[in-house]
């Protein structure tokens, strides 16, 4: 059980981050949710987790594209035993047409933010005598696809950062790992299905199988609960010697 531990999950008011926060809370951890917005719904998500799982849950607004706000998130959390770097955005364009501001935003949110949160959290973990750094990379942290240059550069970068932090904490009771999801069914992905059906003039099952999951041999989406379960496993004693590496949850994508 993760009783008494505090998990800070960046970008966790939707999708995978929220799914991981739920599994952390189910396992008994106090949780800090985050995104760049500051709406009633954001705070209601935290209140809902607290009520459902009987843990302390807070929502802390911080923009992960800003170095000082990344470090501020960890400082405001006050404690960070489990750090999950999940915030991420995507943009698709050929490299010679890729807008510079999109490149910069993707590198800032998907990669630089993790440097800042890790730098702020490691002293807290060392002081507490236990810690887990879990970075949400991607199958695109290990392989490439055309037109996603910034995302793939950032995700490969976070895999490298994960390994380096694993080495720098190797003799401490702290581990650093990356989860590399394949295609995960989130509300955002769900919302793309009707458009893809129209574009390809296909039914739902066909577009999911042959278009969206073309590279996922299992022909099934991974789920946010599976991401959360993998993160909880990485916090267990069984995973204490797993460090500086990646765990793929991708239905066989990277085996191809």
* DSSP tag of 57: E
Q: Judged by CB under 6 A, which of 2, 20, 74, 87 binds ligand NAD?
A: 87
Q: Judged by CB under 6 A, which of 35, 149, 175, 177 binds ligand NAD?
A: 35
Nearer residue to ligand NAD within complex by CB, 38 or 129? 38
Closest distance of CB 61 from ligand NAD, Å: 9
Q: Give yes or no for residue 13 binding ligand NAD (CB under 6 A).
A: yes
Q: Give yes or no for residue 64 binding ligand NAD (CB under 6 A).
A: yes
Q: Give yes or no for residue 188 binding ligand NAD (CB under 6 A).
A: yes
How many residues at the interface with ligand NAD, by CB under 6 A? 27
How many H helices and E strands in the chain? 9, 7
Nearer residue to ligand NAD within complex by CB, 36 or 130? 36
**Closest alpha carbon to 163 in 123, 118, 120:** 118
Beta carbons of 255 and 185 less than 8 angstroms apart: no
Binders in 110-149 for ligand NAD, by CB under 6 A: 110, 136, 138
Beta carbons of 226 and 249 less than 8 angstroms apart: yes
Binding span for ligand NAD by CB under 6 A among 120-128, 163-171, 179-187, 241-249? 179-187
Quote the strand ranges of the chain, DSSP E: 6-9, 30-35, 57-61, 82-85, 131-136, 174-181, 245-249
**What angle is formed at CA 45 by the lines to CA 139 and CA 162, rounded to 5 degrees?**
30
Q: Is 183 assigned a catalytic role?
A: no
CA distance linking residue 84 with residue 62, whole number of Å? 15
Q: Among 59, 147, 151, 183, which one carries the catalytic annotation? A: 151
State residue 107 phi and psi, 5-degree precision. -65, -40
Binding span for ligand NAD by CB under 6 A among 48-56, 167-175, 185-193, 202-210? 185-193
Q: Which two tokens stand for residue 87?
A: 């915030």
Binding span for ligand NAD by CB under 6 A among 20-28, 63-71, 208-216, 240-248? 63-71
Nearer residue to ligand NAD within complex by CB, 33 or 165? 33
Q: Which two tokens stand for residue 90?
A: 């995507």
Q: Which helix (H) or strand (E) holds 123?
A: helix 113-128
Binding site for ligand NAD (CB under 6 A): 11-17, 34-36, 63-65, 86-89, 109-110, 136, 138, 181, 183-184, 186, 188-189
Question: What residues act catalytically?
Answer: 151
């Amino acid at each position: 059980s993760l009783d008494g531990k505090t998990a800070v999950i960046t970008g966790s008011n939707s999708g995978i981050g929220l799914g991981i926060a739920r599994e952390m809370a189910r396992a008994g951890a106090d949780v800090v949710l985050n995104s760049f917005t500051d709406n009633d719904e954001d705070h209601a998500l935290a209140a809902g987790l607290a009520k459902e799982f009987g843990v302390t849950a807070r929502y802390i607004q911080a923009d992960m594209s800003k170095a000082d706000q990344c470090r501020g998130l960890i400082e405001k959390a006050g404690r960070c035993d489990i750090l999950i770097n999940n915030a991420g955005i995507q943009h698709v364009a050929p490299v010679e047409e890729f807008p510079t501001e999109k490149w910069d935003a993707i590198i800032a949110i998907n990669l630089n933010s993790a440097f800042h949160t890790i730098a702020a959290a490691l002293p807290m973990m060392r002081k507490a005598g236990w810690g887990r750094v879990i970075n949400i990379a991607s199958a695109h942290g290990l392989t490439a696809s055309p037109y996603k240059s910034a995302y793939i550069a950032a995700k490969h970068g976070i895999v490298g950062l994960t390994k380096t932090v694993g080495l720098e904490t190797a003799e401490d009771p702290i581990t650093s790992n990356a989860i590399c999801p394949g295609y995960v069914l989130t509300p955002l992905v769900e919302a793309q299905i009707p458009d893809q059906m129209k574009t390809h003039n296909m039914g739902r099952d066909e577009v999911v199988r042959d278009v969206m999951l073309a590279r996922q041999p299992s022909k099934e989406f991974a789920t946010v609960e599976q991401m959360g379960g993998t993160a909880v496993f990485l916090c267990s004693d069984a995973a204490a010697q797993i460090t500086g590496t990646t765990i793929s949850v991708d239905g066989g994508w990277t085996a191809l």
